[in-house]
Amino acid sequence: MDLKKENRLLHARLRELTRKAQENQETLGRFHARELELLGAETLPELLSCMTEGLKTSFEIESLHLMLHDPNHEIRHLLYKNGLDEKAFPLLEFVDDMVTVNPRFQRLRSPWLGSFLSPEYDLLFSDPAGIESIAILPMVRHNRLIGSINLGSSEQSRFSRQLATDFLARLATICSVCLENTVNREHILISGLTDPLTELHNRRYLDRRLDEELARAGRYRQPLSCLFIDADHFKQINDTYGHQAGDIVLRELANRIRSQLRASDIATRFGGEEFALLLPQTCLNEALMLAERIRMEVNSQPIPLDNGSTLQLSVSIGVSETLPLSSKSQQKADGQRLLANADQALYTAKANGRNRIEYHQTDKALPDEINSSER
């Protein structure tokens, strides 16, 4: 080989190495920025967005699927309390048992790279079509598998077994730590918004969520309903059986209310023996039917007390509905009116004999089963 040709080859090789070095530097820069985003995420929705769409953008790949081990629905409930659900994150899946998804998770504790094999790896992605190579990044905390970040590429060589996995292992560790810290932080935040006796949310939480739900209802032109529920003759219960029995009654009442609700419904202890519920995407008739189910559930069986006796409880319920305007300035007034109307309807229910449901007057007809005056 002559010297000129050899020099040309060396220059070409140098240019290729320089290009690769620049690409690697850009990639490292992208991922460093993404790591800072992960570490700086202050809420669970913000973190999940960064771990899904954010990482997919950084990797510049066709497929990413985040699987989180959530057997007790702990993370899902935290999402619901943020006013969101799984549908807000198309690249996210909650699973009760990682091993049933793929037996490899039984022992996998470090990144695995290789060819995509169907059907063995089909369940790792929401849409496995076109995937040629994959990287499975197990998320581990305290030697416990808490999830997996699954990357898929249409390039056969993108994730080969010969590639080093140090960087991927570091990324999985950062994601794991961030998830654990964020979940713990959300729990601490929610504990300050929770009534310790009933484990329902408190009035402070209701005020916060009311603003959020009004904004959402106004944006999408959807109804928002409210229920005010009051335990009948509760003062008499306290006077007759004592405050400890009163606490038992309130806890059981909260449980019976909770048993009738959807995950998206917001139940709070408003104060004393009064409970307030916000029902997103729920019209007046639907709210009235829910109110009747709650009333019947409370009436269904006596509440056992510590002294061996039982107590038959009933509730009075006031119902209201709003279709808030999209104007933010008007939404505050809509929210105050929604609560005031439900409270007034509750007052009417108690004045009319208790153990019944009343609603704020609108031009809507009541369902037949609610119109009955026999409660």
CA distance 46 to 85: 13
Of the candidates 37, 93, 213, 273, the residue annotated as catalytic is 273
Which tokens hold the place of 362? 């609108």
User: Is the Cβ–Cβ distance between 279 and 360 less than 8 Å?
Assistant: no
> CA-based angle 45:79:192, to the nearest 5?
100
Q: Which two tokens stand for residue 309?
A: 């006796």
Hey, which residues does 246 pair with through a beta bridge? none
What lies within 8 Å, CB to CB, of 96 at 6+ separation is 69, 70, 71
Catalytic-residue membership of 273: yes
Task: Write b or e for each residue in 147-174: b if 16 or more Cβ atoms lie within 10 A of its Cβ, otherwise e.
Answer: bbbbbbbeeeebbeeeeebeebbebbeb
At which residue do the structure tokens 């009534």 appear? 195
Bridge partners of 320, per DSSP, are 226
d(CA 138, CA 159): 15
Query: Position of tokens 């990324």?
Result: 171
Name every residue whose Cβ is closer than 8 Å to that of residue 205 and which is 6 or more positions away in sequence.
190, 193, 194, 266, 268
Please give the torsion angle defined by the CA atoms of residues 191, 192, 194 and 198, in that order, rounded to the nearest 10 degrees.
80
**Residues that are catalytic:** 273
